[in-house]
A and B are shown apart, each in its own frame.
Chain A
Amino acid sequence: MTDERCGERNLESRTEGRPAGEQGPAHLEVRGLHVHYGSIHALHGVDLAVGRGEIVCVVGVNGAGKSTLMWAVSGVLPVTEGSVLLDGVPLVRSGTGRSYGPPRALPPHEIVNLGISLVPERRRLFSALTVRENLIMGSIRRTDRDGIAADLERCFSLYPVLKERLAQRAGTLSGGEQQMLAVSRALMSRPSVLLLDEPSLGLAPLVADALFDTILKIREEGVTVLLVEQNALQALSVSDRGYVLQTGEIVTSAPSGELIENPLIRKAYLGS
């Protein structure tokens, strides 16, 4: 995508005037989050907030801790300190009932049921299952048949190609189609917060462009988006605000337009 196109998108997102999570009540909030992999301290007290209906991105180089943050918010990785809150409700609790010991996150399936859905890096589709079965898995906890059917149609309107591939095994789809399926599968759980981890990874530039356009459409439907990307320019161009993560710490945060204009950020993350 050209810089010009990114600039246009960023102008649009700013003129739409979405409320910043830091100004209004946060829909998703991460407070002082610490995560360890054994003796490795991967996240050092990460704080961030995402307002309802916002698109917020976290940019950083490979190994900064972006994916760790996503897995921790999803409840897959254990948190050693700090908390994650959805509309003020803690997802990480001192569930042992003791005043000591590490905090305990809700299990991933309960976090999904509260409305947080993750599209992980490299999609992680159920490759042996068909496209239809992958979409069924997305809605597996739901019982509202009409709602599920309506959401399927919504996914097909976003990505018409999926309707033609329903009986095809997910592992045989192209990279772009797999990403479409991964996003659709996450949307089938009807999340209020969508976590997108490196969605453009391995995609051709045109396909990545289309994907970022879809992210804007998803936000228009009221879904809050937390986006993690190495491709900082594209991520900042679609988001309202951005955080910069460096070796497990948030080093700066600002409206995306400001980050794009910041010469230090441009030099470190935007390659200019």
Chain B
Amino acid sequence: MQTLVTGLSVGGIYSLMAVGYSLIFSILSFSNFAHGAVIMLGAYIGLALATRLHWGLGLVVAGSVVGAGIISVFNERVAYAALRRRRAPSLFLMISAMGCSVFLENTVYATIGSRFFAFPEFFRREVVSLWGSSLSLLDLFAFTVSVGAIFALHLFITKTKTGIAIRAGVNDMTMCSLMGVNTDRLISIVFFLAGAFAGVAGVFLGIKYLVYPTMGWVTNKAYIAAVIGGLGSLPGALAGGLILGVLETLVSTYLSSVLRDVFSFTMLIALLIWLPNGLMGRETEEKI
């Protein structure tokens, strides 16, 4: 039970990251490998707000959401907009995303440096008891916020006009524009949402571990979570993140923590071969 609870708390953060991945994949059919860099920048923004301005956790998360959201939109406008207007293949977008990731990381190295930073302690070092197992206040808070944010996103895309337009764009972007939707603006909204989720994930990752320039590489796990759930599927991203979190914790607990990443990437290869559409994904040939 303890393993399950710990796994779910890690999985909640994986889900947050996977949702950002899946949102962008669903609308532009490419894996935004710069998402990790946006998560990293979200963590730095949160860190600055917490250490320089001494803001509380709620405001830190809100500031990081807005900051990472804007960075994500800027990233799309600079690196992808021109390519998609030329109807470039998704491989070009993915390569551009990798370039952005390297650029953003190295910009942080060049300006802030390679030091590791820690967030101030927002929570008392207490644990709560849950179904007979113990859970830190941070993990409980992170899990609750993660699931709450994903649920709020679900409500947004099913109940609002903008959300319906996003789903319509996922279905057929050309027809979406023929309904009178400015698709450039719609894509910016999607990138802002993905960035906002990256901001929340960045703050929680930074609090749970540390803040450093390459911390965004953990989004490899978000990619695996998104593939488990089915690339492009939001419920799939939630499920995939939680499943991956639990499985990794099981491997760490009963086998070895060294084997955790070996297991995750072996599972990724197996999934791409035998279950490429994941649990809830739509059928697409592109998986990158």
Contact = CB atoms under 8 A, between A and B. Distances in A.
B175 A109 contact: no
A136 interface: yes
Contacts of B176: 126, 137
Contacts of A21: none
A6 B3 CA distance: 74
Contacts of A107: 177, 182
A76 B174 contact: yes
B178 A133 contact: no
Given A126-B167, A128-B171, A136 B178 contact: no
Contacts of B152: none
A120 interface: yes
Contacts of B161: 136, 140
Given A133-B164, A136-B161, A126 B178 contact: no
B171 A140 contact: no
Interface string B161-202: 100110110111011111111110000000000000000000
Contact of B175 (A113, A124, A141, A189): A124
Contacts of A117: 178
A73 B167 CA distance: 26
A113 B180 CA distance: 6
A75 to B, nearest CB: 8
Q: Which 7 A-B pairs have the closest CB atoms?
A: A141-B180, A112-B180, A108-B177, A126-B171, A126-B168, A137-B179, A124-B175
7 contacts: A76-B178, A126-B175, A127-B171, A128-B171, A129-B171, A140-B164, A140-B181
Interface of B: 161, 164-165, 167-168, 170-172, 174-183
Given A109-B177, A129-B171, 12 more contacts: A107-B177, A109-B183, A112-B179, A112-B180, A126-B175, A128-B170, A129-B167, A133-B164, A133-B168, A140-B165, A141-B180, A189-B179
